[in-house]
């Protein structure tokens, strides 16, 4: 298998395993969707890390496979390509991308599906599809522009240039830069901490933010209000407030 789901301490690691560059061929895309949906369903997975290994996150699509496809073949495939990445973006739990080495094209688009991105000092990110006479097709034109703004996204997509970790941090493309050897450890620690939190409230926060970004503020406030009120029916809310009153802030145990 080219993608594995490994679970420990409430954290599910979606690990790409297609040496040497983790090229995202059709089989890998389909496997990614399958395991993202499994991570969504499993109660023992409370947060997720996406990782490509110590040397490379994912260098992009399998260009040889794509070269053999004509227009009709890609029309038939393009929706499934997007759906595989959307399955990751819609995991209703905290998701962090642990980015080492290249995260280009589809690799960058996969990182964009996470809620938070930790990059190694050796990371290089970009959307080089324009150099192939294409545009990003797995969400890059949409998620990148929402994350860093349209003008910065257009610069990266129009030029196809790669950015190193420090520039990616300045752009807001990644959220933290650490030594390459520490990327997975720090990503796992981020996920493990949240895995101990209130699962339903974390889901609510993620869905309210993501839904709000896709609509007007009044509709977004309605989504927030409904989730906020609904959480008063949960055991985690009772536990959190009781702990606050009896022991002070930040001491509630949710697992």
Q: How far apart are CA 202 and CA 34, in angstroms?
A: 23
115 to 75, 118, 140, 223, 249: CA distances (angstroms): 29, 10, 15, 19, 25
106 is catalytic: yes
pLDDT at 119: 98
| Residue 57, pLDDT score | 98
- Average pLDDT estimate for 237-249: 95
From CA 70, how far away is CA 54, in angstroms rounded?
35
Is residue 58 among the annotated active site residues? no
Instruction: Return the H-helix or E-strand segment holding 121.
Output: none
> What residues contact residue 194 under an 8 Å CB cut-off, 6+ apart?
46, 47, 94, 202
Residue 42 has what DSSP assignment? -
pLDDT class for 247, splitting at 50, 70, 90? very high
CA–CA distance, 66 with 161 (Å, rounded to integer) = 21
Residue % of the chain over a pLDDT of 90: 98
Looking at the predicted structure, is the pLDDT value of residue 17 above 90?
A: yes
Mean of all residue pLDDT scores within the chain: 97
What pLDDT, on a 0 to 100 scale, did the predictor assign at position 56? 97
**pLDDT tens-digit series, residues 18-29:** 999 999 999 999
Is 167 a known active-site residue? no
Q: Indicate which residue of 97, 120, 129, 199 is catalytic.
A: 129
pLDDT at 232: 97
116-120 and 102-104 beta bridge pairing: unpaired
Residue 109 a catalytic site member: yes
Number of C-beta neighbours around residue 183 at 10 A: 28
Q: What's the rounded Cα separation, in Å, for the pair 165 and 180?
A: 10
pTM value > 0.85: yes
**181 DSSP assignment:** G
Count of Cβ atoms closer than 10 Å to residue 70 Cβ: 7
**pLDDT at residue 15 is higher than 90:** yes
Q: Residues 12, 109, 195, 197: which is the catalytic one?
A: 109
Are residues 51 and 16 in contact, defined by beta-carbon separation less than 8 angstroms? yes
Per the residue annotation, which of 12, 53, 106, 240 is the catalytic one? 106
Given the residues 39, 47, 59, 61, the one annotated as active site: 61
Q: Is residue 255 predicted with pLDDT exceeding 90?
A: no
Task: Report pLDDT digits (tens) over 192-236.
Answer: 999 999 999 999 999 999 999 999 999 999 999 999 999 999 999
């Amino acid at each position: 298998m080219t993608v594995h789901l490994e679970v420990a301490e409430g954290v599910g690691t979606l690990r790409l395993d297609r040496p040497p560059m983790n090229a995202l061929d059709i089989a890998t895309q389909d496997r990614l969707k399958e395991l993202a949906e499994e991570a969504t369903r499993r109660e023992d997975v409370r947060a997720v890390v996406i990782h490509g290994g110590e040397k490379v996150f994912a260098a992009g699509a399998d260009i040889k496979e794509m070269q053999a496809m004509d227009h009709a073949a890609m029309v038939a495939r393009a929706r499934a390509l997007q759906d595989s990445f959307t399955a990751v973006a819609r995991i209703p739990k905290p998701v962090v991308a642990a980015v080492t080495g290249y995260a280009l094209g589809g690799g960058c688009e996969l990182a964009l599906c996470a809620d938070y991105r930790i990059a190694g000092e050796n990371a290089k990110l970009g959307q080089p599809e324009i150099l192939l006479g294409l545009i990003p097709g797995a969400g890059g034109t949409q998620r990148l522009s929402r994350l860093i703004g349209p003008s910065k996204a257009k610069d990266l997509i129009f030029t196809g240039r790669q950015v190193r970790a420090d520039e990616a941090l300045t752009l807001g493309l990644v959220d933290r830069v650490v030594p390459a050897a520490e990327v997975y450890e720090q990503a796992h620690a981020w996920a493990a901490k949240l895995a101990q939190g209130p699962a339903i409230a974390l889901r609510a926060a993620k869905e309210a933010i993501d839904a709000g970004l896709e609509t007007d503020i009044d509709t977004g406030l309605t989504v927030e209000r409904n989730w906020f009120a609904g959480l008063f029916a949960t055991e985690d809310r009772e536990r959190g407030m009781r702990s606050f009153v009896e022991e002070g802030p930040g001491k509630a145990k949710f697992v």
